[in-house]
Amino acid sequence: MIENTRRLLAASLLVLAASCSTSNTLAPPTPDVTNAEVAGFQNVQPGSEEDFILNVGRRIYFTQGSAALDSVAKATLDTQIAWLAKNPRWLLKLQGFADDPGASETALSQKRADAVMDYLAAGGIDRNRMWAKGYGKDRLVRDCPNSACRSQNRRVVSNLRDERDES
């Protein structure tokens, strides 16, 4: 019994020693990809439309039946104000949407777009750089039966337009 244990131990040591060789036959270690840049986003230029979408945010959401801006909406709009102030060539189309039951969707979507425009103007963005339009239930993000699911439809989307494209 002791002899078999010694043989087993010796064989195990031999296998262990062989696996520790300095042979280069093993695959190279996997690089740390957790913090690697995502393909396609390495070359986002500051002041570009991609920069606005990725780093600023272009959607503002509303509670049901309301055109009031909450603290999250104001924080996003404050970031938009700072970005637009640094990038004056951009014009802004504010598109309002609503699918709130019991409300005139077009009127409410226009109030939402106007509320965003008023906030941006109060923050120093020239009204001549912006226009607002309510689309009601057009262009739903989600078409589903419950209110929580439809909350994504109660929004204003800030779309950039380069003033140089106006000619």
CB 129 within 8 A of CB 28: no
Query: In which element (H, E) is residue 121 found?
Result: helix 105-122
Confidence band for 99, pLDDT divided at 50, 70 and 90: confident
Structural domain 49-166, CATH architecture: 2-Layer Sandwich (3.30)
- Return the sign of the alpha-carbon dihedral for residues 7, 11, 16, 22: positive
Q: Is the model's pLDDT at 81 over the cut of 80?
A: yes
Confidence band for 19, pLDDT divided at 50, 70 and 90: low
CB 157 within 8 A of CB 85: no
Confidence band for 43, pLDDT divided at 50, 70 and 90: confident
Burial class (CB in 10 A: 0-12, 13-18, 19+), 137: middle
Ranges of each domain in the chain: 49-166
pLDDT computed for residue 166 by the predictor: 59
